[in-house]
Chain A
Amino acid sequence: MSSLNIPIYMDYSATTPVDERVAAKMAECLTNQGHFGNPASRSHPFGWNADELVEQARDNVANLLGANSKEIVWTSGATESDNLAIKGAARFNIKKGKHIVTLKTEHKAVLDTCRQLEREGFEVTYLDPLENGLLDLEVFKAALREDTTVVSIMHVNNEIGVIQDIAAIGKITRERGIIFHVDAAQSPGKVVIDVNEMNVDLMSLCAHKVYGPKGIGALYVRRKPRVRLEAQIHGGGHERGMRSGTLPTHQCVGMGESFRIAQEEMASENERMRVLRDRLWNGFSDMEEIYLNGDLEQRIPGNLNVSFNFVEGESLIMSMKDIAVSSGSACTSASLEPSYVLRAIGRNDELAHSSIRFTIGRFTTEEEVDFTIKQTRQAVEKLRDLSPLWDMHNEGIDMDSVEWAAH
């Protein structure tokens, strides 16, 4: 029996710990004894060594995508990659058109970037997904116009874990010569990526969801047919002018190693996670009034997003005090709005307020899952005993028939 480490981490979609193997490689690139040189230094072995390590890491990232390493641009993370991709492509192609198509369930790094472009005079269509979180291809096709230059659709959703059919979307955008950007921050090591088969033009990635370090990411930029971007950060002309700034050798090496491991271990790890995730879901399945958010099949194995009706998410998290999870509820005066992702898939506010995202990962154990089931059930039971809505539900009162004094 392994002993439980409390609190239990069930928030792997927020970030992951750095794998020991990754940390060891990174540590070799920092000190006087290590490869600390500037990869851009062309005049001595310090620079050459660092450059070689950075290029190996770039190969590892490219390999996972089925890309050429010349198509990988280092960035500080997926947020920067999303910004560079969407702003860069939209602004570069401004003479062709000013229309962008994206999805309402995208990460804020995409949505807020689009909002900024709207302020600059671009027009953005935000598509509604289906109730299972997936994009309806007919709805998508109908939204495309003559002046559409960029489409941005995420691969794996960070909240509900659903996987969009990127290949089907890519086929449509390629036929019409529209640039296709994919936010794949949550994908590596969880779903197979092949940028050529999928006809992806730009793809955002980061290391910290893949057991690599925070603060490093990459943007895949297709070379054939060539995709051109307007740079967002100017300076010494690094990364073929697309992203200036001295490369952080240890960060690049960390991302490369984490992607190498992710690719190598994906099949076995996914299988293990699917078993754990199903165990977790089965542990709740006999409870009343619980709802799975997002499609169960088209979904990464590590994600379970559940609404426990008549219980508010933030207090639920407070009760599950030995478990680190996140909730779609935000009860602050600044934002009484529950998760926009759950709202976009048509969940009502109550269910959105009642949601918990469990995300499991490389270091999750069966004991942890069992403990999580037990503590979650206890917490839900306690809070339902406290909940006037639960009483009303048991009395057979339809909540929608009540006239609430919204505040």
Chain B
Amino acid sequence: MAYSDKVLDHYENPRNVGVLDKNDPNVGTGMVGAPACGDVMRLQIKVSADGVVEDAKFKTYGCGSAIASSSLVTEMMKGKTLEEVGQIRNKHIADELALPPVKIHCSVLAEDAIAAAIADIKAKRGETDKEAAVAS
């Protein structure tokens, strides 16, 4: 399979690989996917008191497109408010990376990871969230 230049770039030089302390009250963690399906994404965001994403980290087990999707998402989220971050859709990711149809599910997984990370931080802060978490 041929990969787009953007996928290759994120794959070769993944941005924001790493781990934030999941017990930190300001850190939201979202982990989605399953090893049996061939992809697992862990996305973490550090959110300021006024709801701005100050830092984002990821680790991903999966194909090149899954890794690139999560790397891209960490870049997209930094500096945005939780509300803005919550509006990132898989289509934005897929378009930006020029994912072929068979890889769209990687961008869907990244969107799920964002939702799960947001739900986690909201839960930690006692804010209820109607869009419940996928898994954390």
Query: Do chains A and B stick together as partners?
Result: yes
Residues in A lying within 8 Å of B, measured CB to CB? 310-312, 314-315, 318, 329, 331-334, 336, 338, 348-350, 353, 383, 385-391, 399, 403-407
The closest CB in chain A to the CB of B19 belongs to A391
Mark each residue of chain B from 64 to 91: 1 if its CB lies under 8 Å from any CB of chain A, else 0. 1111000000000000000000000000
Cβ–Cβ contact A404 & B103, under 8 A: no
Q: Check B35–A331 contact: CB distance below 8 A.
A: no
Q: Are A407 and B109 in contact (CB under 8 A)?
A: yes
Given A387-B61, A405-B134; A315-B67 close (CB under 8 Å): yes
Contact count band on B: 35 or more
Nearest B residue to A387, CB-CB: B61
Most buried by B among A349, A386, A390, A403: A386
What residues of B have a CB within 8 angstroms of the CB of A311 in the complex? 61
Separation of A203 and B30 alpha carbons in the complex (Å)? 54
CB distance B66 to A385 under 8 Å?
no
Q: Is the CB of B17 within 8 A of A385?
A: yes
Residues of A within 8 Å of B34, CB to CB, are: 404-407
B62 within 8 Å of A by Cβ? yes
New A-B pairs, 20, CB < 8 Å, besides A312-B66, A391-B59 = A310-B61, A312-B63, A315-B67, A318-B11, A318-B64, A331-B38, A331-B63, A331-B103, A333-B102, A333-B103, A333-B105, A338-B38, A353-B35, A387-B59, A387-B61, A389-B35, A391-B19, A404-B34, A405-B33, A407-B112
Rounded to whole angstroms, the CA-CA distance of A383 and B104 in the bound complex is 21
CA distance A334 to B101 in the complex (A): 10
- A314, A350, A388: the one contacting B59 at CB < 8 Å is A388
Decide: A388 near B40, CB < 8 A? Known: A404-B135, A407-B34. Answer: yes
Given the interface pairs A349-B36, A385-B17, the reply to whether A334 lies near B102 with Cβ below 8 Å is yes
CA distance A349 to B67 in the complex (A): 19
Output the nearest chain B residue to A384 by Cβ-Cβ distance.
Answer: B61
> Contacting A388 at CB < 8 Å: which of B3, B14, B42, B134?
B42
Taking a contact as CB atoms under 8 Å apart, the answer to whether B62 and A315 are in contact is yes
- B91-118 near A? 1/0 per residue, CB < 8 Å: 0000000000111110011001000000
B60 touches A387 (CB 8 A): yes
Residues of A contacting B32 in the complex (Cβ-Cβ under 8 angstroms): 405, 407
Q: Chain A binding site: helix, strand, loop or mixed by DSSP?
A: loop
Distance in angstroms from B126 CB to nearest chain A CB is 24
Is B39 close to A, CB under 8 A?
yes
CA distance A405 to B37 in the complex (A): 10
- A341, B19: Cα distance in complex, Å: 36
Contact with A along B1-29 (1 / 0, CB 8 A): 00100000001001001010000000000
Q: A311's closest neighbor in chain B, by CB?
A: B61
Partner of A404 from B33, B63, B67, B104 at Cβ < 8 Å = B33
Q: Can you list 28 A-B pairs with a CB-CB distance of less than 8 A?
A: A310-B61, A314-B38, A314-B63, A314-B64, A318-B3, A318-B63, A331-B66, A331-B103, A333-B102, A334-B102, A338-B38, A353-B35, A386-B14, A386-B59, A387-B59, A387-B60, A387-B61, A388-B31, A388-B41, A388-B42, A388-B61, A404-B35, A404-B36, A405-B134, A405-B135, A407-B33, A407-B34, A407-B105
Q: Which of B14, B37, B101, B103 has the largest number of chain A CB atoms within 10 A?
A: B37
A390–B19 CA distance with the chains assembled, in angstroms: 13
* Residues 38-52 of chain B, each 1 if its beta carbon lies under 8 Å from chain A, else 0: 111110000000000
- Return the 8 tightest CB-CB contacts between A and B, nearest first: A404-B34, A349-B36, A332-B102, A331-B63, A405-B135, A388-B42, A314-B63, A388-B59
B38: which A residues are within 8 A, CB to CB? Answer: 312, 314, 329, 331, 336, 338, 349, 353
